[in-house]
Structure 1
Amino acid sequence: MVGLKQYKQDPFWFLKTSVVRTVLFLPILAACIYYFEPSLKTLALYSLPILLLTLAGSWQMFSGLALGSAIVFYDKGFAGTDILWVLAGLLVTFPVSSIMHSAAHGSFRPRFLNRFLGELMGFWHNLSIDIWAVVHYYHHKHTDIPNLDPHPALGQTYMGFLDDSGRSFGAAFTHHFFECHGKGDRAIRAFHLSVLNFKVRSPIVSMIWFLLLGPKAFVLFYGTNIVFKRYHYAWFNWATHRKTGDEVQVLNLNHGLYKFVNLISWNLYYHGNHHAYPFLINPKNLPAQVKAKENNSAA
């Protein structure tokens, strides 16, 4: 897992990597402001949607997208081709999620690609590859164990799972951080400073994309992608981890729309295979020796 070793050794690892990103992003933001010269009216008009899209809650993000869309249509008007921005925002979610997933596992070769691609996808999705990778590590280590897995299958409806995902993620992340680093003053300070820095960095990233893309593409393309990413992340984990009675099955899904999603995302929804062989970039394509072993077992 990307950054896992450093995280276990240093409670300030998340903070250090986040500060480095913030220091790198600030001059990019300054250059965008200098080059694009946004008016104060434009910044004031879109500031609330930009802020809402940086929040972690699904309903806050959806509200940001809805408000931003209303402002865009008031400010820029509506063209029939605008639906293409929305469609692109939906579709790009799947390959970006798949690349980030494989990068977190350290699946790419040469190895430096994992950090490079993880940072690139994290910049697009406004996430930290280090936090994402460590949280995902605990998902594999404690799959579907309540309070230990950041998103355990509890037999809920999808909306129940979505509503509970933020709480379960935060609770599991906090538990594992302090279990790893203890609850001394140094660890507590590292934890709170990491959270604070992320809250500062996140709007900076959103503002960079706003200036680079312009208001319409930012809201309809980027905003759609960011919001859909949140809802899809919950759907993915809810659909592929199915609780029946006291047992939880991790499923491979390749029917209906899942076939198309798998086609554009290196078979992301072959999640059962992924849990069995987590370092495969394409979990549908099991190595020949694995297939031979499974065939022998079946025989």
Structure 2
Amino acid sequence: MFRKFRDQPWYLFRYMLVWALVLGALVALSWSPPPGTAAGWLLVLTIAMIISTRFDAMLAALIPAVALSPEPGTTLLWLVLLLPATWSLGVVLAVFIHNASHGQFRPRWLNPVVGELAGWCLRINLLGWKMVHYYHHRYADDPERDPHPPGTMSFWPYANAMQDAHYLHARHQELHGMPSWFYFLVGVVAFAGFALMPLSWYLLLGPIWFAAVWMPVLLSGWWLFTVINYYGHPVGADGRNHAVDLCSRPWHRLVNRVGFGVLYHAAHHDNARLFNPSPAGSAG
């Protein structure tokens, strides 16, 4: 995948187009219109907030998502009751797309399969995640080249700025020098694909389970991405960000137990081949 991104100028567009076409076909096959104009607008609002690059907007999308269901109270009850399971699933899916991007599953053909399926669950695709993560490792904590350096930002401003839609295009343009219309075209196709992801889950699960199951899974995964990139790269005594292991607090230990040592971030940067970079996992 990286080799194609590096060597084939049109690969980025073709990849995004395939995603949009596959999801478009899935939506067309499962299409059932929302029950009324108000529900239709609530669905549009929910999707718009989900595909925004702001984490607070993604969290707030829970409100219209729950309101979409025929029985919001029942949906909210299910959301709360299932939260331990959906949070755990979101964490595991976030770990799986990360580990698939490093080619850690065996046999190797599992990596694109697991990575794309996990990405679909988390409103992202493997190529975008893999390439941005590659550059994060290559330029870790470089304030200019790291795709998501926390610097000295507080948590919420960082959480709302972490998803930079232009970073991948900038790196692609450095490699291939494509004109601006190409990146506009890629952006339109990618935007369509990302919008079709939550729509496909809404149609597959129905309004109740879309809000009670898929939304918490999505938000848990993105919460973990944000936590790792922010708390896993604090500012050191020299004024620069550095990767650290997060393992001292109870919630660290819980996330590491569920997520295969995912918060041992410095250990991961030292050896990205480990599926579980915790001391227990690496010893095993």
Scaled by the length of structure 2, the TM-score of the pair is 0.88
Q: CA deviation at 1:86?
A: 3.7
Aligned-pair distance for 1:172?
A: 3.7
Q: Displacement of 1:140 after TM fit?
A: 0.3
Equivalent residue for 1:295? none
CA distance in 2, matches of 1:152, 1:139: 9
CA distance in 2, matches of 1:5, 1:77: 47
One-letter identity of the residue aligned with 2:227: W
Deviation at 1:178, TM superposition (A): 1.7
Runs (4 or more) in structure 1 with deviation over 6 Å come to none
Give matches, 1:49-198, under 5 Å.
49-72=46-69, 75-79=70-74, 80-166=77-163, 169-170=164-165, 172-182=167-177, 184-185=178-179, 188-198=180-190
Separation of aligned partners in 1, 2:181 and 2:157: 33
Say if 1:91 and 1:9 are closer, same or farther in 2 by CA, change over 3 A. Answer: same
Superposition deviation, residue 191 in structure 1: 2.1
Contact 1:14 1:131 in 2 (8 A): no
Give the match for residue 44 of structure 2.
Answer: 47
Match of 1:212 among 201, 204, 217: 204
| Higher mean displacement: 12-21 or 273-282 | 12-21
Following superposition of structure 1 onto structure 2, how do residues 21-36 of structure 1 map, counting pairs within 5 Å? 21-33=19-31
Distance 1:201 1:142 in 2: 28
2:245 to 241, 252, 266: 252
* Deviations 1:135-164 (CA, angstroms, capped at 9, x unpaired): 100000000101200111313221232233
CA distance in 2, matches of 1:172, 1:229: 21
Q: Which runs of 5+ in 1 are unaligned?
A: 289-299
Decide which moves more: 119-128 or 245-254: 245-254
Indicate if the aligned counterparts of 1:252 and 1:273 stay in contact, CA closer than 8 A.
yes
Cα displacement (A) at 1:71:
4.3
Checking the alignment, whether the CA contact within 8 Å between 2:66 and 2:72 is kept in structure 1 is no
RMSD of aligned Cα (Å): 2.2
- Displacement of 1:204 after TM fit? 1.6
Amino acid at match of 1:236: I
Bigger Rg, which one: 1
State the partner residue of 2:282: 286
CA distance in 2, matches of 1:239, 1:220: 28
Cα separation, partners in 2 of 1:126 and 1:108, compared to 1, 3 Å: same
Runs of at least 5 residues in structure 2 that lack an aligned partner in the other structure: none
Q: 1:213 to 1:140 in 2, by over 3 A?
A: same
Query: Aligned to 2:107, what secondary structure does the other structure show?
Result: coil
What CA distance in whole angstroms lies between the structure 2 residues aligned with 1:173 and 1:58? 19
- Given candidates 256, 266, 283, the residue that maps to 1:262 is 256
Taking structure 1 as the reference length, the TM-score comes to 0.84
